[in-house]
Every structure is written in structure tokens, then in C-alpha cells.
Amino acid sequence: MTADPHPALELSGITAGYERRAPVLRDVSLTVHGSEAVGLLGPSGCGKSTLAKVAALLHRPYAGTVRLGGEPARGWRHRAPRAQRTAVGVVFQQPRLAADPRLTLAALIAEPLRATGRGREATERVRELADAVGLGGDLLDRRPHEVSDGQLQRACVARALVLRPRVLVCDEMTAMLDASTTAALVTVVEDYRQRSGAALLAVGHDRTLLERWCDRTVELAGAGGGTDGEEVRSAPRAPADTSAG
């Protein structure tokens, strides 16, 4: 790949952990260029989700730098500047933990627009995204407890795309889904990326899926007490096919 002075996402020397305990990640670096899809693999507990949260500005590392489009992160969680927070869309593994149970699916998808003063765009954008993720009938009017996990995850993917992020972080997005919902949601993300040129960091355990889906995969090591260094293994993409099975 030619030199890219402003990669979509650049993690440099990230050392991160929880409550000042021993770091889970030590000096991990990873760059995802615009339009690139990178799959992040590694054993359970090695820190993949921690790195995903750091990338999404949701977890402050002990040390290291996150750059979005070349700009260093200027805060974490709600203290991150709006322009940086909204540049990253995130989908988590468990939609029930991520979704406010009081909101209808329509309100859930629209909420980032309303929170950024763009509520007027909500009706059209929700309709557009609901079509894309396959939420039809009265599903948009239901609350999370009235829909299946797969339907709720479809809404969470739509929500992650609603502000047209430059970077998407999908943390085990498909781990709870059946093969056809997995294939549908991967297609939605890929359609969005092809149209927008957004970068993707996809965390998962399903090596076959990530190697088909992504341009390359990287592997965090992990054994005992944290991940050191960066790309332990990097595999090229298998022939294009985003189906799960």
C-alpha cells in the first residue's frame, strides 16, 4: 500500500488495562487505512475488546496515542470532542447491553442524530437504514425486549452507521447471530464501506469469517498477562465471499 500520511485509524504504542492493574495490552500498534478492513483475532482474554474500545475512544489507555485521520485523540468517552466521537461507529457483541431498553428501534437508530442536533434528518435516515439492515413491518416501533437478538443487532448496526462514520469498530458483531443474519449484516457494513470509503476494525473469533471479510487479519498474542507488540500474524484475504457458512 502506498504511504498514507493520514490513516483513518492509527494506534501507536498502546498500553492499556483497568483500574491501574497490570496492563492487558503492552505497546500495541496497529494502523487501519481509509477503505481498509482489518480483522483482529487472538485468544480469549488477550485484549481484543480492550483495543477496540481504545480505538473507539471509549477506554483511555495508560500510554500510547490514537489518531483518527491523523488527528490525535483529544479526550475519551463523553470528553472526546464531538467530531472525533462521531467519526467512529461502534457495534458490540451483545446488543442488549448496548441498547437503551426504553427506546423503540427507530429512536435507537436516530438517537445519535438527535444528540448531535440533526434530528430533522432522522425520519429519512432511519427509513433508509432500516431498509438496508432489513428491519421491516412494525419492528421499528418495538422496544428491545420485543425483538430477537438478531433484529436488535440489525438496529445497532444501523445506529452505528447513522452519522456516516469514517471508521467502524465491530467487536464480535456477529458472535450471537445465525449464518444468514451474519451474512446480511456483513453485507450492510461492506456496502456502506464501499460507498463511503470508511475503514473497518472487526474483532472476532471466527477466523474463516474475518479472513473472508477483511483485507487482512492481525493477531494479538496474549499468553499470560497481556499482549506485547503488534501484528503477530498477518494473513491476506481469502477469495471474496462474505457468507458465514
> Which of residues 52 and 163 has its CB atom nearest to ligand ATP in the complex?
52
Binding footprint of ligand ATP, residue count (CB under 6 A): 10
Q: Report, in Å, the least distance between residue 125 CB and ligand ATP.
A: 31
Query: Which of these segments, 44-52, 125-133, 210-218, 230-238, binds ligand ATP (CB under 6 A)?
Result: 44-52
Query: Which of these segments, 3-11, 41-49, 123-131, 144-152, binds ligand ATP (CB under 6 A)?
Result: 41-49
> 142: helix, coil or strand?
coil
Measured in whole angstroms, how far is the alpha carbon of residue 189 from the centre of its chain?
10
Q: Report, in Å, the least distance between residue 140 CB and ligand ATP.
A: 30
Q: Which of 24, 108, 129, 147 binds ligand ATP (CB under 6 A)?
A: 24
Asked if 45 is part of the footprint of ligand ATP (rule: CB under 6 A), the reply reads yes
Q: Report, in Å, the least distance between residue 154 CB and ligand ATP.
A: 22
> Which of residues 46 and 140 has its CB atom nearest to ligand ATP in the complex?
46
Q: Which of 47, 61, 144, 165 binds ligand ATP (CB under 6 A)?
A: 47
Q: What distance, in Å, lies between the first and last C-alpha atoms of the chain? A: 30
Residue spans of alpha helices (H) in 116-224: 122-133, 149-161, 179-196, 207-213
Q: Which long-range contacts (CB under 8 A, 24 or more apart) does 112-121 make?
A: 112/86, 112/159, 112/162, 112/163, 113/162, 113/163, 116/82, 116/86, 116/163
Q: Are 68 and 8 in contact (CB under 8 A)?
A: yes
> Measured between alpha carbons, how far is 174 from 178 in angstroms, rounded to an integer?
8
Q: Which three cell numbers stand for residue 222?
A: 496474549
Asked if 68 is part of the footprint of ligand ATP (rule: CB under 6 A), the reply reads no
Residue 16 φ/ψ, nearest 5 degrees:
-145, 150
Asked if 69 is part of the footprint of ligand ATP (rule: CB under 6 A), the reply reads no
Asked if 18 is part of the footprint of ligand ATP (rule: CB under 6 A), the reply reads yes
Asked if 97 is part of the footprint of ligand ATP (rule: CB under 6 A), the reply reads no
> Which of residues 108 and 177 has its CB atom nearest to ligand ATP in the complex?
177
Q: Which of 31, 50, 174, 182 binds ligand ATP (CB under 6 A)?
A: 50
Contacts of 221 (CB under 8 A, 6+ apart): 42, 46, 227, 228, 229, 232
Asked if 48 is part of the footprint of ligand ATP (rule: CB under 6 A), the reply reads yes
> Measured between alpha carbons, how far is 179 from 97 in angstroms, rounded to an integer?
22
Asked if 218 is part of the footprint of ligand ATP (rule: CB under 6 A), the reply reads no
Asked if 28 is part of the footprint of ligand ATP (rule: CB under 6 A), the reply reads no
Residues of this chain that bind ligand ATP (CB under 6 A): 18, 24, 42, 44-50
